[in-house]
Amino acid sequence: MELYKFPFDTQVCTLTFKSLMYSEEELKVYGIKSDNPSKPSNIQSLKIPGEWQFISSILSNEYENRENVSFQITIERKPLVYVINLIFPVFCFLVLDVASFFINASQGDKLSFKVTLLLSISVVLQVLNDRLTATSSEIPLIGVYCGVVFTLIGISILETIFVNVLIAKGKKAKSVTPENTRAAVSGPDETSGNEEPMCMLAIGKKSSLWTRAAKIIDVTFIVLYIITIIVFLSVIGKMWLM
């Protein structure tokens, strides 16, 4: 089966009928014309329940006075159940990941929320792996779709960890007391009235530098992340439906 555009794929099946009991001289096989409404080649008589929809059947050529006959049948998959159960949930996970950027990065809930989304994508990939067969010569687009979303969420988790590290460094620099800094610089016996304000100013600048860097990285990443998502969904949607 060709599963490249799964679940929006169309399969073309060739059915060949041949008699094993009679030779070509003893049996004549006539092809069933598709314009005869009383024959099984009629579309109305081949509507069956399930995930497939009959499109057309074509007799490849005239097989009169020959020992076999071949039909080419085209069927199309009904994609609604896969859109609801696979494609739409993965898209919702991606939207939730974008929304998680508005959670305060200093809290641990943001990172745990993103990890939960990544685990949810893993479950969807496992379900998809059980559903698809390994006979396709190309990677199905739905596999590319889920894999790229999984990668994007993983990258966003790494970005969140990096931003949290910068914020933690800023808090650590801010938590250094002026007395400890002054003792490390001038020794325990030397004190100066202007040293404490200078140390506090240096600590404040260092803390604000880490915090500012974290904010700049976070905002830049959000913008690039949203642009990447829009471009990817546009390309994958065009390839799926064309």
Domain span including residue 27: 10-78
Give the 3-state secondary structure of residue 18: strand
Beta-sheet strands, E only, within 153-234: none
Q: Look at residue 4 and tell me if it is in a domain.
A: no
Q: What is the mean pLDDT of the chain?
A: 75
pLDDT of amino acid 5: 86
134 lies in the same domain as 49: no
Q: What percent of the chain has pLDDT over 70?
A: 65
End residue of a domain, out of 56, 78, 100: 78
Neighbours of 86 (CB within 10 A): 21
Q: What is the pTM of this model?
A: 0.73
Give the 3-state secondary structure of residue 69: strand
For residues 6-12, give the mean pLDDT.
86
pLDDT tens digit string along 159-210? 988 988 888 877 776 665 454 444 444 444 444 445 455 555 555 555 677 7
End residue of a domain, out of 42, 60, 78: 78
**Nearest Cα residue to 151 out of 198, 99, 107, 94:** 94
> Amino acid identity of 4?
Y
End residue of a domain, out of 42, 57, 78: 78
* Measured distance CA(123)–CA(146) in Å, rounded: 11
Which pair of structure tokens corresponds to residue 80? 């609604």
33 lies in the same domain as 133: no
Tell me if 106 sits within 8 A of 166, measured CB to CB: no
Q: Look at residue 5 and tell me if it is in a domain.
A: no
Residue 40 has pLDDT above 70, yes or no: no
Number of folded domains that form the chain: 2
69 lies in the same domain as 86: no
54 lies in the same domain as 85: no
124 lies in the same domain as 156: yes
For residue 214, what is the domain's CATH number? 1.20.58.390
Tell me if 12 sits within 8 A of 74, measured CB to CB: yes
